[in-house]
Amino acid sequence: MDRRHDPERTQGIRTAELTRPPDPGGSGTGVGAEVTRTVSFLGRRIAYVLRVAAHDPPRLLDMVSVAGPMPTHVTYTFDPAPGGGTRARIHVRDASGLYGLAAPLMARKVRSSSVRDLRDLELRLGAPVTARGRDRADAIAAGAGPGRAV
pLDDT (tens digit per residue) in 77-100: 888 888 888 888 888 877 565 556
> Regarding predicted confidence, which is higher, 83 or 55?
55
Give pLDDT, residue 49: 95
Full-prediction pTM beyond 0.85?
no
Q: Are 61 and 1 in contact (CB under 8 A)?
A: yes
Q: What is the per-residue pLDDT across 1-52, written as a single tens digit (0 to 9) for each?
A: 678 888 887 778 899 999 999 988 777 789 999 999 998 877 889 899 999 9
Peptide bond before 58: cis, by omega within 30 degrees of 0? yes
- pLDDT at 149 > cutoff 90: no
